Structure 1
């Protein structure tokens, strides 16, 4: 058998499991190389992107690194090498939950950080917020939405401000010193957004956004607000908007709340709830948009979700474009 980067008989490597067509199985366990993987700056960009947003499909990772890659095949080979790892272990994992999707065979592979990559990133720049333990599809949807904001902003002349940059600001020192810098106390309980980012509009200023991912897996309202529900989160956001507690906690001058959900019917129900509990000025701070593809029969998006920034977000009163400030 001829040698290849994935199999070197002379070096003692073992062949990777193949399917009936001779292709390496996507669900095969890592097949470590006997050689040593040497990291490049482009590789760190991959790890950083996943660290910022969460598990991402391979074509998203290509968008973050294409200015440093020869082509997509080069990235695909590199991702496979990081999944297989070397004697020190793997750098990336392929979350097994992705293979439960009906579309698993036909969609881009999703990668997440292995402990080895997380440790290397911590040495370069310590993470300012703990990794979330939400269900996989919730994390994947949040990662694709968040990464799409970052990848789309430059083409619109906007500067994306990451959660890490927000929390690294001197005004967020108290939050950084806490167990979870994203957590903020409200009368409705502890509020932890799924994401936090900002946009700089040249000549116009800044806007900051808390992001919520709602896959319509729980009721909007429950009799007991102490239970996890959308109503509890809205009560929390209304409280910090009224007291401007976000200024002291995160050091941001303003806050808007974006909820990405999976169906138009559920979006209408969310907007109706917000409209019943928020005044006009407060309601204008909330936006809801439909991001299809993450419902019960979910699949990873086939391309960057640029519509989250180029399209309209609905409020209880009107629609608004984030791209225009």
Structure 2
């Protein structure tokens, strides 16, 4: 399996490359099925590097040529189907290849093809406003999802659904919401009612059979989040949502687990300690943790996850 590399994310300031500017006269171009697949992948994850898109293409076509994929991406950019976010002039050391987002023409095309995308949005403006930190985080989520794609393809008997492709499983009342992935809850602390909300970095399902689905809320932690602050609020929100059956009501899930990818083993222990305090030591298996090193070594379906109950847990235990 081609898992790529998910590493701690660092930045190095470099001069702005000319590659972020489109040619004044784009070369002749005709859309292909592969072009559409690349557009769909970028729209699905919001941002992806050329290397990530190459590895994604090779999941279904191991013989996909790096040169061919690079040329197709260049052409899609030149003709405004794809965009290159301007903040990548601060080069991404962990992802040294060019970063792509959806362009105006790409959004229009995907909308015509029935994809869940709003072509009325100013996509170039959205891409330009993406901060370096936001871009790094989004690429980390993309990398993790490519690892899931490769692992499910290698198994052959597991279908992966994530993001907007899950909407068809949601109740009709949820599909009409502006933000169907956001869980809103209220917790009580020292007699005061406190509203909380949480949006997973990625919601995904591993579909084992027609009547069996494993659901996960993915959280990608880059190490900048306070474990006792923002992370603790996420845990509190997820616990409240689970206890109030919000996952059933809003997402149509019979159950779900929160899968967190975080930079180090030590940070996992700190997160487990915070989780235990917030949950009172209950629901220890609901929250699972791993590191990029574990992901790269054995893939997301391997025994790489840690819970409050034990180490080396596989997502597919009992399947």
TM range (shorter): 0.7 to 0.9
Counterpart-to-counterpart distance in 2, 1:176 and 1:38: 35
Of the candidates 101, 106, 112, which is equivalent to residue 117 of structure 1?
106
The 8 Å contact of residues 182 and 199 in structure 2, kept in 1 or not, is answered as yes
The 8 Å contact of residues 57 and 64 in structure 2, kept in 1 or not, is answered as no
Query: How far is the alpha carbon of 1:71 from its aligned partner?
Result: 1.6
Which runs of 4 or more aligned residues in structure 1 lie more than 6 Å from their structure 2 counterparts after TM superposition? 128-134, 303-306
Counterpart-to-counterpart distance in 2, 1:190 and 1:128: 24
Q: Secondary structure at the match of 1:321?
A: coil
Q: Secondary structure at the match of 2:260?
A: strand
Greater shift in the superposed pair: 243-252 or 68-77:
68-77
* 1:310 equivalent in structure 2: 302
Gaps in structure 1 of 5+ consecutive residues: 1-24, 223-228, 293-302
Of the candidates 50, 73, 82, which is equivalent to residue 67 of structure 2?
73
Check 1:32–1:144 CA distance in 2 against 1; reply closer, same or farther (3 A cut).
farther
Gaps in structure 2 of 5+ consecutive residues: 1-16, 187-194
Query: How far is the alpha carbon of 1:53 from its aligned partner?
Result: 1.8
Check 1:215–1:70 CA distance in 2 against 1; reply closer, same or farther (3 A cut).
closer
> For residues 77-96 of structure 1, what are the structure 2 equivalents within 5 Å?
77-85=71-79, 90-96=80-86
> For residues 234-313 of structure 1, what are the structure 2 equivalents within 5 Å?
234-278=235-279, 282-291=283-292, 307-313=299-305
Counterpart-to-counterpart distance in 1, 2:273 and 2:32: 49
What RMSD over aligned residues (CA atoms) do the two structures have, in Å? 3.0
Counterpart-to-counterpart distance in 1, 2:106 and 2:29: 12
State TM-score, norm by structure 2.
0.78
Query: How far is the alpha carbon of 1:204 from its aligned partner?
Result: 8.1
Query: How far is the alpha carbon of 1:279 from its aligned partner?
Result: 5.2
Higher Cα radius of gyration: 1
Q: How many residues are paired up? A: 280
Counterpart-to-counterpart distance in 2, 1:142 and 1:54: 10
The 8 Å contact of residues 45 and 64 in structure 1, kept in 2 or not, is answered as no
Counterpart-to-counterpart distance in 2, 1:39 and 1:264: 46
Of the candidates 29, 32, 38, which is equivalent to residue 46 of structure 1?
38
